[in-house]
A = this chain, B = another copy of it.
Amino acid sequence: MIHRAQGRTPDQLRKVTIERNHTKHAEGSVLVSFGDTKVLCTASVLDKVPPHKKGSGEGWVTAEYGMLPRATHTRSDREAARGKQTGRTQEIQRLIGRSLRAVVDLKLLGEHTIQVDCDVIQADGGTRTASITGAYVALADAVSWMIAQKKIGQTPIKDAIAAISVGVVGGVPMLDLDYSEDSSCDTDMNVVMTGVGGFVEIQGTAEGTPFSVDELNALLGLAQKGIHELIAVQKLVLGE
């Protein structure tokens, strides 16, 4: 029998907190914690769009992801000093951007860009899922600011979105893996879902033994439960 830290059951999320207005300049600024994983998500509103959207009447939502050098157990090189972002960073920021765009009507956004930055202050597994979950709240705040500023007339947000990791650890499907669980799991899966329960992204990887359809379904069941709870937290902090 696997013992999880803090006596968590296999289907239990870590303590999740979402703090709005964490910094003062951004139109949306959220500090999200999944246990010891802490990510600062800011949403910046820009009155311009990337070239492929110019003149289209549509807006754009995009994301960048970074990790402070000592967010991790041992220090990682600073990407700005190395002169390039790793493949992992690029993969994660593309995932965050796609996930957010899945719940935004780009036409209703008009020719504006919402640029989301997810910067990991402290890492303990699940930084990409915490980023998506927190980024949604920062996005919602930025949209409220745009409406208050009369930059747009109605919200382009179609639904909430959140993400969680699941995995098979020591043969047991588990929800919301921390770093030590993630390092030792057989299968690792990140799931992104909307408020109404549709899948937006499923990324599952067998680190050791390949997984079966049954394991997949068990993991997806856990993920649905976790995301349901995360979206409840989002609604609570947004006062919806």
Q: A: which residues have CB within 8 A of B?
A: 23-26, 29, 36, 38, 40, 42, 44, 46, 64, 66, 68-75, 78-91, 93-94, 98, 102, 115, 117, 119, 121-123, 189, 193-194, 196, 198-206, 209-213, 216-217, 220
Chain B contacts for A29, CB-based, 8 A: 70
Residue among B121, B201, B209, B213 making CB contact with A204, cutoff 8 Å: B201
The reply to whether A122 and B25 contact each other, CB–CB distance below 8 Å, is yes
Given A115-B75, A117-B78: A203 and B206 interface contact (C-beta under 8 Å)? no
How far is it, in angstroms, between the C-alpha of A122 and the C-alpha of B216 when the chains are bound? 34
Residues of chain B with a CB closer than 8 A to A24's CB:
36, 122
A24-B36, A64-B81, A70-B44 known; A201-B194 Cβ under 8 A: no
Q: Report Cα–Cα, A25/B98, bound state, in Å.
A: 29
Decide if B64 touches A42 in the complex (CB within 8 Å).
Answer: no
Which among B79, B87, B201 is the interface contact of A205 at CB below 8 angstroms? Answer: B201
Selected contact of A23 from candidates B71, B83, B212, CB within 8 Å: B71
CA distance A69 to B213 in the complex (A): 38
Query: Which 6 A-B residue pairings sit nearest by Cβ, starting from the closest?
Result: A198-B210, A87-B90, A79-B80, A42-B70, A44-B75, A26-B70
Chain B residues near A122 (CB, 8 Å)? 23-25
Q: How far is the CA of A206 from the CA of B216 in the complex (A)?
A: 18
Q: Which of A25, A46, A121 is packed against the most chain B CB atoms within 10 Å?
A: A25
Point out the residues of chain B lying under 8 angstroms from A115, CB to CB. Answer: 69, 75
Question: Could you say which residues of chain B place their CB within 8 Å of the CB of A216?
Answer: 199, 202, 220
**Chain B proximity of A93: nearest CB distance (Å):** 7
Is B78's CB under 8 angstroms from A66's CB? yes
